């Protein structure tokens, strides 16, 4: 699946990373691969010691690695302090998508007259841009996507196909919205009276910062009164739910299937593992990591790693333990009683 | 983000709520806000004692509150028994969406000749209405949404953009379907034979009652034989999965990321917290609340609050406890043995 | 909701299943139903002993059942070794969808000139087929669906409405993709450097085998370098998230809300219950079952049933036990101390 959008040589690669190298600079480079799978026209990388064993036998054209591993490399090497960052940088060169993004409005797209489009904007087939929308330069709106009235999208942002941005949403620069995600659906707000629910119109919006990514089928709800706010460089995986009036600080990352309930504030540089749930109205300070599928019901005021739950075990063994969990308070009391009796005897 | 669709004064607001007030009725009201954030042309509300401290310093034009707090209010007051309901009522006045819904069929929409459309229906850009569909009066079908063959949608119901209603679905009046939700996808039904799966065509439909709301990216599967049935005034948040032949009773509310497995029956006035999972073929009686991320594997026959799991703690502390969970049955047995020995000694 | 696409008699049904029967073969059969609900023109089935009590009183035109229950059947019987498979087979006869799929490209659909379409292909209203796509014979692309550049879809595969298949995805034969699902969105890959995230272009693709089903609003991310690979006859329910470079072996089934983190390998004939989470970089061997909402953080090398978590209980009781969970390590240590003392006394 990796194919270069144009012809690159090993010398081009080294120049792009601004690293020196020894070897045949004219070697054509067709793509990237792991140390194990790389062929003679692919560049590989060593970013994790667990793969050191693969370095000795790699067939790659060259390997991105830290200088400390340079001597163990059997092929031309590209020495760099953060090889994983080097790999990220190179990966952009081999992405086939940008070459296909021809600026212009597809005839089947529907763009409101009152919308303002920057230069180089691409609105693809059957997309819809409603009244008052502002699209910055080089924005790409994928096929079937919808941008609701009065929303503002910053330059260089890409909506993949079938994305929904509701009305009154503000998105920063260079953001990436994967297919099927929904930004600005109504928050879940109802007043209860006489046994019935009465809808609270969700009058706030959503503000996404610069360099935000939102995964496939994720949803970020609009605020009830103020806005739901996602900071700069926040990365959100697929199937994530962010409720109304949540705020997420800059540089935080949320893995797949995370759910954050209303009005919770997540700090900067936080990392939430897959399936983590945060209750509503909490404050999570900067630098907090929560491991997969944990439930957080109280605010967290100290940076660090937090967890809940228990890992899977054989079902027969699990059944015995799970039953005991329901007796846990009683077990603790029996233990205390026994300790007391024991002390009485001594 | 809050902007009135027309000019409103404080007197208009009071009249709309049918409450008396003292003060300058000619004060223009531009929107709603919290006690803390409200400016001089916004109305605030006090619905939770936790915010009493904000009342004393509010800058709001007026405050919706219970008569018991009237004397503490430094600005004109709108006294009402359920201030949160009052807020819900007023919020509708400031929703910018309705003013934009111009009846009519956008030229890019595709509407089958055999479809029947009521008065005041709006079918927006690139929406698709298939054969035999019936849309009641004032139905709004958002951009890019699809209504499958023979589905029936009651008056005043709104599909936001990019909603999918599959064939043979029945939706009541005044329902709201947020973007990206899917009503009537196939249930997950397969017969197992010879190590392979054989698909069971899902021949039932989905019936949604009146005043139902379905959140962004949620899915409600069609029944295998009979219907999946969602009662009146049921509120469903985002990223919720409802499997085939589930029934949910009137006035129940399901928070984000809830999953309900096939053929489970949820009663009336139930509340499921975020991420709750219900196993299949259960019966949950009326008036049950389940707290966030709990797993329910048995039917519940008594109203009340139910929970499972444990909250997050510091990872180092958690590791020690989680390991002990796997020894729990053994711990309980050791305790019993010790108690027995102890009794033997006494 | 069940209506035959053409007129069928009981004799037709028996012939279709290749089973003998006694009774009036001319009886028209209008659909299928449960033993309890079946009317005189519907066929029912007995596939679970729990419903034996309903057999005695069924009003069905005929019942599909195992020969061992033949004598208990008060109406004409269709004896078959696997009645549930018989039901699956018959269900296809009553599916109203196929009759509506008229081959051809709807005028509102956008199909790139460089796309290659087989015979009998149906591209429905407002669907988009990008450059270089190949659609096999009898492929159906539902309204509003999008197939990205260079993707290949095998014969007889159906995309329901509003499905997104991103660029460079390969889908086998007879696959079924429910509405709102996204195949080939970017995996969640970023290099961390200087407190910031740097995107890794996701250069791999997704390969789905033959007879795969993907549920509503599910997402399968594209690989970072190699492909994400879903085997033949894998069945995936709604709201499922499959991360980059995951592989799932043939004939496995994943229930609703499952999440699988990156580079995990799931074997053949596995079954993951609703809401199950698998951490990244694991290997799950063939024949593993994981019960609902369990978290798997280690590889599994033995077939069998695995579980974690605890079932819901009354909240008051749960609170007491959940608090004790946080003391569990201390409780275990106290017990050991007591045992030691006790041994010292004896």
Query: Of the candidates C107, C183, C97, which has an alpha carbon nearest to the alpha carbon of residue C140?
Result: C97
Residue from A160, A244, A251, A265 carrying the catalytic annotation: A244
Residue B338, in any domain of the structure: yes
Residue A277, in any domain of the structure: yes
Non-local CB neighbours of B284 within 8 Å, separated by 6+ positions: B264, B265, B266, B267, B270, B278, B296, B299, B300
- C83 plus C114 within the same structural domain: no
Does the active-site annotation cover C3? Answer: no
- C271 plus C196 within the same structural domain: yes
**Best of B147, B164, B288 to disrupt the C interface by mutation (most C CBs within 10 Å)?**
B164
- B55 plus B167 within the same structural domain: no
Non-local CB neighbours of C113 within 8 Å, separated by 6+ positions: none
Range of the domain at C326: 315-345
Q: A1–C205: do the CB atoms touch at under 8 Å?
A: yes
Q: Which two tokens stand for residue A173?
A: 């620069």
- Spatial separation of the C-alpha atoms in residues A45 and A79, rounded to whole Å: 10
Residue C248, in any domain of the structure: yes
- Spatial separation of the C-alpha atoms in residues B124 and A147, rounded to whole Å: 13
- The DSSP result for A152-189, as a single string, is EE-TT-EE-TT-EE-TTEEE-TT-EE-TT-EEEEPP--
SS3 A198: strand
Task: Decide which of A59, A94, A129 is a domain's last residue.
Answer: A94
SS3 C38: coil
- C29 plus C145 within the same structural domain: no
Contacts of B269 in chain A (CB under 8 A): 195
Chain C partners (3+ C-beta pairs within 8 A): A, B
Residue B32 and residue B92 in contact, taking contact as beta carbons nearer than 8 Å: no
* Predicted ipTM of the assembly: 0.95
- B265 plus B241 within the same structural domain: yes
- Spatial separation of the C-alpha atoms in residues C104 and C93, rounded to whole Å: 23
Residue B271 and residue B251 in contact, taking contact as beta carbons nearer than 8 Å: no
Q: A179–C166: do the CB atoms touch at under 8 Å?
A: yes
The tally of domains found in chain C comes to 3
Radius of gyration of chain C (CA): 26
- pLDDT one digit per residue (tens) for chain A, 346 residues: 334 446 899 999 999 999 988 889 999 999 999 999 999 999 999 999 889 999 999 999 999 999 999 999 999 999 999 999 999 999 999 998 877 888 999 999 999 999 999 999 999 999 999 999 999 999 999 999 999 999 999 999 999 999 999 999 999 999 999 999 999 999 999 999 999 999 999 999 999 999 999 999 999 999 999 999 999 999 999 999 999 999 999 999 999 999 999 999 999 999 999 999 999 999 999 999 999 999 999 999 999 999 998 889 999 999 999 999 999 999 999 999 998 888 777 5
Pairing of strands C8-9, C28-29: antiparallel
C56: left (phi over 0), alpha (psi -120 to 50) or beta: alpha
Instruction: Count B/C contacts: CB-CB distance under 8 Å.
Output: 253
**Best of C228, C321, C336, C339 to disrupt the A interface by mutation (most A CBs within 10 Å)?**
C321
- C166 plus C221 within the same structural domain: yes
- Spatial separation of the C-alpha atoms in residues B148 and B161, rounded to whole Å: 15
CA dihedral B131, B134, B137, B140 (to 10 degrees): -50
Q: B326–A313: do the CB atoms touch at under 8 Å?
A: yes
Chain A partners (3+ C-beta pairs within 8 A): B, C
- The DSSP result for B232-257, as a single string, is TT-EE-TT-EE-TT-EE-TT-EE-TT
Residue B34 and residue B6 in contact, taking contact as beta carbons nearer than 8 Å: no
Q: Which two tokens stand for residue A257?
A: 């299937």
Residue B258 and residue B240 in contact, taking contact as beta carbons nearer than 8 Å: yes
- Spatial separation of the C-alpha atoms in residues B245 and B220, rounded to whole Å: 10
State how far the alpha carbon of B321 is from the alpha carbons of B165, B213, B310, in Å.
47, 41, 11
Q: Is the dihedral of CA B192, B194, B196, B202 positive or negative?
A: negative
pLDDT at residue number A346 = 59
Q: At what angle do helices A328-345 and C328-345 cross, to 10 degrees?
A: 30
State how far the alpha carbon of A25 is from the alpha carbons of A16, A43, A69, B291, in Å.
13, 13, 21, 62
Residue C259 and residue B241 in contact, taking contact as beta carbons nearer than 8 Å: no
Nearest CA in chain B to A344: B346
- Spatial separation of the C-alpha atoms in residues A222 and A244, rounded to whole Å: 5
SS3 C11: helix
- A86 plus A15 within the same structural domain: yes
Contacts of B318 in chain A (CB under 8 A): 306-308
Q: Which two tokens stand for residue C176?
A: 């079924």
Residue C260 and residue C284 in contact, taking contact as beta carbons nearer than 8 Å: no
CA dihedral B268, B272, B276, B278 (to 10 degrees): -10
Residue B89, in any domain of the structure: yes
Name the residue among A146, A200, A243 with its Cβ closest to that of B256. A243
- Spatial separation of the C-alpha atoms in residues C233 and C221, rounded to whole Å: 19
Phi, psi for residue A129 in degrees, rounded to 5:
-120, 115
Residue A282 CB coordination number (10 Å): 18
- The DSSP result for C97-160, as a single string, is SGGG---EE-TT-EE-TT-EE-TT-EE-TT-EE-TT-EE-TT-EE-TT-EE-TT-EE-TT-EE-
- pLDDT one digit per residue (tens) for chain B, 346 residues: 334 446 899 999 999 999 988 889 999 999 999 999 999 999 999 999 889 999 999 999 999 999 999 999 999 999 999 999 999 999 999 998 877 788 999 999 999 999 999 999 999 999 999 999 999 999 999 999 999 999 999 999 999 999 999 999 999 999 999 999 999 999 999 999 999 999 999 999 999 999 999 999 999 999 999 999 999 999 999 999 999 999 999 999 999 999 999 999 999 999 999 999 999 999 999 999 999 999 999 999 999 999 998 889 999 999 999 999 989 999 999 999 998 888 777 5
SS3 B63: strand
Residue C2, in any domain of the structure: no
Task: Assess whether pLDDT exceeds 90 at residue C4.
Answer: no
- Angstroms from A129 CA to nearest CA on chain C: 16
- Angstroms from B85 CA to nearest CA on chain C: 28
Residue A310 and residue C308 in contact, taking contact as beta carbons nearer than 8 Å: yes
What confidence tens digit (pLDDT) does each residue in B252-294 have?
999 999 999 999 999 999 999 999 999 999 999 999 999 999 9
Count CA within 13 A, CB hemisphere, residue B264. Answer: 21
- C170 plus C280 within the same structural domain: yes
- Spatial separation of the C-alpha atoms in residues B220 and B243, rounded to whole Å: 6
Contacts of C298 in chain A (CB under 8 A): 311
Query: Of the candidates C119, C113, C115, which has an alpha carbon nearest to the alpha carbon of residue C132?
Result: C115
- Spatial separation of the C-alpha atoms in residues A79 and B106, rounded to whole Å: 58
What confidence tens digit (pLDDT) does each residue in C242-278 have?
999 999 999 999 999 999 999 999 999 999 999 999 9
SS3 A328: helix
Largest CA distance in chain C: 91
**CATH number of the domain enclosing B24:** 3.40.1390.10
- The DSSP result for B249-311, as a single string, is -TT-EE-TT-EE-TT-EE-TT-EE-TT-EE-TT-EE-TTEEE-TT-EE-S-B-S-EEEE-S--
- B113 plus B214 within the same structural domain: yes
- C218 plus C112 within the same structural domain: yes
Count CA within 13 A, CB hemisphere, residue C82. Answer: 14
Task: Decide which of A75, A94, A113 is a domain's last residue.
Answer: A94
pLDDT at residue number B89 = 97
Radius of gyration of chain A (CA): 26
- Spatial separation of the C-alpha atoms in residues A66 and A45, rounded to whole Å: 9
Residue B177 CB coordination number (10 Å): 30
Instruction: Count A/C contacts: CB-CB distance under 8 Å.
Output: 251
**CATH number of the domain enclosing C255:** 2.160.10.10
Residue C68, in any domain of the structure: yes
Query: Of the candidates B254, B259, B244, B243, which has an alpha carbon nearest to the alpha carbon of residue B288?
Result: B254
- Spatial separation of the C-alpha atoms in residues C160 and C167, rounded to whole Å: 18
Residue B312, in any domain of the structure: no
Task: Decide which of B64, B98, B132 is a domain's last residue.
Answer: B98
- B173 plus B298 within the same structural domain: yes
Phi, psi for residue A263 in degrees, rounded to 5:
65, 15
Query: Of the candidates C44, C315, A239, which has an alpha carbon nearest to the alpha carbon of residue B224?
Result: C44
pLDDT at residue number A6 = 61
Q: Which two tokens stand for residue B202?
A: 């899902």
- C61 plus C27 within the same structural domain: yes
Q: A324–B311: do the CB atoms touch at under 8 Å?
A: no
- Spatial separation of the C-alpha atoms in residues B30 and B22, rounded to whole Å: 19
Q: At what angle do helices A315-325 and B328-345 cross, to 10 degrees?
A: 60
Number of H helices, E strands in chain A: 5, 39
Q: Is the dihedral of CA A320, A323, A328, A332 positive or negative?
A: negative
Chain position carrying tokens 């929409």: B109
Residue B2, in any domain of the structure: no
- Spatial separation of the C-alpha atoms in residues A261 and B48, rounded to whole Å: 18
């Amino acid at each position: 699946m990796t194919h270069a959008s144009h012809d690159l040589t090993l010398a081009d690669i080294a120049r792009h990373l601004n690293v020196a190298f020894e070897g045949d600079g004219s070697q054509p480079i067709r793509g990237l691969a792991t140390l194990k799978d790389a062929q003679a026209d692919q560049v590989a990388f060593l970013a994790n010691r667990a793969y050191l064993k693969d370095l000795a036998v790699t067939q790659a054209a060259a390997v991105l690695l830290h200088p400390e591993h340079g001597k163990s490399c059997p092929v031309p090497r590209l020495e760099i302090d953060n090889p994983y960052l080097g790999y990220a940088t190179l990966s952009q060169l081999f992405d086939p998508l940008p070459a296909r993004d021809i600026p212009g409005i597809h005839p089947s797209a529907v763009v409101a007259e009152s919308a303002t489009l920057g230069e180089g904007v691409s609105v693809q087939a059957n997309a819809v841009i409603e009244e008052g929308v502002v699209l910055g330069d080089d924005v790409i709106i994928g096929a079937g996507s919808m941008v609701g009235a009065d929303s503002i999208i910053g330059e260089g942002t890409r909506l993949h196909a079938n994305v929904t941005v509701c009305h009154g949403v503000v998105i920063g620069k260079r953001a990436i919205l994967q297919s099927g995600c929904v930004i600005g659906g109504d928050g879940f707000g109802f007043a209860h009276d006489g046994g019935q629910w009465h809808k609270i119109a969700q009058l706030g919006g959503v503000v996404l910062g610069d360099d935000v990514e939102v995964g496939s089928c994720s949803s970020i709800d609009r605020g009830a009164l103020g806005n739901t706010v996602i900071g700069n460089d926040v990365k959100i995986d697929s199937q994530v739910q962010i409720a109304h009036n949540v705020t997420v600080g800059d540089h935080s990352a949320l893995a797949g299937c995370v759910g954050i309930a209303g009005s919770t504030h997540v700090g900067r540089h936080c990392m939430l593992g897959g399936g983590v749930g945060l209750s509503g109205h909490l404050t999570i300070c900067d630098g907090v990591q929560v491991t997969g599928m944990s439930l957080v019901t109280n605010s967290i005021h100290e940076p660090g790693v937090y967890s809940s739950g228990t890992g899977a075990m054989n079902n027969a063994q699990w059944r015995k333990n799970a039953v005991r969990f329901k007796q846990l308070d009683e077990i603790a009391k029996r233990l205390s009683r026994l300790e007391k009796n024991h002390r009485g005897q001594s």
